[in-house]
Structure 1
Amino acid sequence: MPPGPVVRYFAVAVGILVSLHYILSFSHKEYGRRMSLSQWLPGQPPYKRPIPSKYYPYHPITGEANMTIRKANAAFVLLARNSDLPGVLESLKQIQDRFNKKFQYPFVFLNEEDFSDDFKKWTSEVTSTHCVYGKIAKDHWFQPGWIDEDQATKSRAQNQEYLISVPYRNMCRFNSGFFFRHELLKNYDYYWRIEPSVKFFCDIDYDPFLIMQDEKKVYGFTISLFEYIETIPTLWDATKEFIKANPELLPADNAMAFVSDDGGETYNRCHFWSNFEIGDLNFWRGEAYMRFFEFLESKGGFYYERWGDAPVHSIGAALFAHKDQIHFFRDIGYRHEPFQHCPQGESHAQGKCWCSTSENFGQCRPNRYSCLNKYDALF
């Protein structure tokens, strides 16, 4: 019996839809990428999934303005001295041109001294958005009085090749446990850390802050690598001591496997390079991380050794967050000497990137110094 008219019309309609799908897949790369079923196969790291159009102020395919332009409660954070002004302006100009001229998030500048009038004038002119300038409290910046200076001096003398300055250690301690408590940041939920003299290679046409907010992410990175164990010889011993005393603070589906290859017995030295990070301020302010930081603080390792904010943040995020709350921003091109992340494939063209795809740390080819494979293995 021949098919009835309804069946024939249905078959024709399906055929037209399939034909349109294939035509759009080949003629519009963005459509093809977003409709690819491979993006949603089980076991794919979250960063390989397409970015929903709701995070773009303009639709990524049609170019039309989204009906509702949303913003997160977020700010850029930049720790700098007045003498850093040339490098600060370089970074600000790039992040403004590549991202913030479209999104207009404010900037919070922090310094252990008062900012100069020139610093305020030039940075506010380059950013063309709301800027505030804050001074860091002395007890948040300077070495605590209870630190044994003889022991700290001896440690610095023994490890001269690993950044011996006390101000550098002050910075590591401040970024590890105090920046998110500053008065100028207390009313914000998310931050994007900017450093002097960094490069942003690509247009960022969507809002990373909204991804963090809507998808309940707590930490975002672009580069991950191994730490020098000589700078943190007892950091993991202190971490294990804390875990043993506070096992209830660790969720079952955390990212322990990113920082340890044997279930927590030893530290594999992997960390996220914290000179770029987009994070949840309330995560650092939360009970688990605050108790962890205060415990590390009591050990004195920021001065007796050289505990950096990169391994401290990384261990904190890996232990106290759910693994899917840590996000790799693969399409944000970024360089902080001497390493860079350059987006690969279609992301490079979509972002109009000016970096070389062959000069990419840890993704385009195997790199024995990269920890990206450890992150991928989480999923």
Structure 2
Amino acid sequence: MNDHKPTVVLLFGGRSGEHEVSLNSASSIYKAIDRSRYNVETIGINKQGQWFWGVIPDQILKTGFPTTTEGLQVTLVIDPTQPHFLAINGQSLPNDGKFDLVFPVLHGTYGEDGTLQGLLEMANVPYVGSGVLGSSLGMDKDRMKAVFIERNLPSARYVTLLRSEFLREPETYLNKIEAQLGYPCFVKPANLGSSVGISKAHDRTELQESLKTAAIFDRKIVIEESINGHEIEVSVLGNDSPIASIPGEVLPAQEFYTYEAKYSNIGSSLLIPAALEDDIVKKLQLMAIQAFQAVEASGLSRVDFFVNDENEIFLNEINTLPGFTEISMYPKLWEATGIPYTELIDRLIILGMERFQDKQNCKISQND
């Protein structure tokens, strides 16, 4: 990066069920990023999708977003030759709104699913994390699992159905799920993370209610068989040559790792490193990298597994933009592996720059 001190735009909030998680992640990153190496600007996106320049995550957590008359709304100018942010009211921005990289901390829809990444690609903007394909595959649990199966990565059995199908023929699909998976089973919106909308069904009544709950959040629903085993997570870092952290185990206070357990820290705990045999650790690390490469992720991901008492490994899912709060597994695993939080942020920024530069080496046409 030479002598130039890059400007990093921390982008957070968003139109997602994980809006508050994003604010907490951004708060931690904002406090920890190395100001001696980077200039930091912030843009917060409210739940209506409006972008505000200069808002601070902790302040938003306390008092909420400003109104459109109080705050400085901005938009990204889609000019691949000179991408920059522009104030909607015409007010000047630092360095005329120019920057070097966007660090998205937008969990869930409109941030982690490839939509934001497509916008940034159109504008020719360097950014942290996976691209359009990796983000969209990592977000959609149904398509993610299909890719894992294609790569012969062992996963739990599952059934996918559309909300419209369930509403039209509820008995048909209840029967299908019971026949193929049995009880208990997990019911999940296909395109949400952080355990939002997820339920564990133990009988037909709970299954029907769980499907209704998941249908509130997504048009596509994934139902998985329940695996009795330890919940193990591995962090992955890199682009073309990713590395894997030591594994950690989630010890949920509730029956499964709910949204509240993840972000309120109510009784749940993380065991780092997980108490596993060395050969199982190596298998998990290899499989985590294989999952990362299967969806063509880049930058960062957290890969989740189940390991049963017979040491069988089941790949659960990949999260291409995992939580970055103080109690989140992704940074804690890297810290235990030897990469402190601030250094981890630095590495992710460098990986984002490297991925962008690599893409600039591609020709658009033969005549370029």
Greater RCO (Cα-Cα under 8 Å, separation 6 or more): 1
Query: Structure 1-normalised TM-score?
Result: 0.25
Query: Structure 2-normalised TM-score?
Result: 0.25
Higher strand proportion:
2
Higher helix proportion:
1
